Amino acid sequence: MNIEDYKLRLKEIDGRFEKEKQELAKEYAFSNSSYKLGDIITDNVGSIKIERIQFSTGGIYRQHPECVFTGVELKKDLTPTKKGEKRKIYQSSIITK
């Protein structure tokens, strides 16, 4: 084995490691979410009707993986706004009533 072989194998191992970390984060986020498509959720800004569910692996402000919900903004009476704009709500920002 020479240095090029070593670097190539190390790069392959790092790639598999990162992929496995992403899969673990996804599994954790989705297993800790009780919301599904069509649900209405609220944060301190307002409410949305969930149209898409993704996940975030965390970061500076979030210490662990969590779901990110995207949907159309709703008015207080839970009807869509005139503009029909979409926005995201992080799972940790949801206000439970």
Instruction: List pLDDT tens digits, range 53-68.
Output: 999 987 777 788 999 9
* pLDDT given at position 58: 72
Distance CA 84, CA 37 (A): 17
Q: What is the pLDDT of residues 1-56, one digit of tens each?
A: 899 999 999 999 999 999 999 999 999 999 999 999 999 999 999 999 999 999 99
H/E run at residue 13: helix 3-31
In this structure, what token pair is assigned to residue 31?
Answer: 């297993």
Residue 39, pLDDT score: 95
User: What is the model's pLDDT at position 59?
Assistant: 72
The whole-number pLDDT of residue 16 equals 97
Confidence at residue 97, expressed as pLDDT on a 0 to 100 scale:
58
Domain that holds residue 66: 3-93
Measured CA to CA, the distance from residue 43 to residue 64 in angstroms comes to 19
Output 15 or 84, whichever has higher pLDDT: 15
Joined tokens for residue 3: 């240095």
- The number of distinct structural domains making up the chain is 1
Minimal CA–CA distance to 85: which of 68, 70, 72, 74? 72
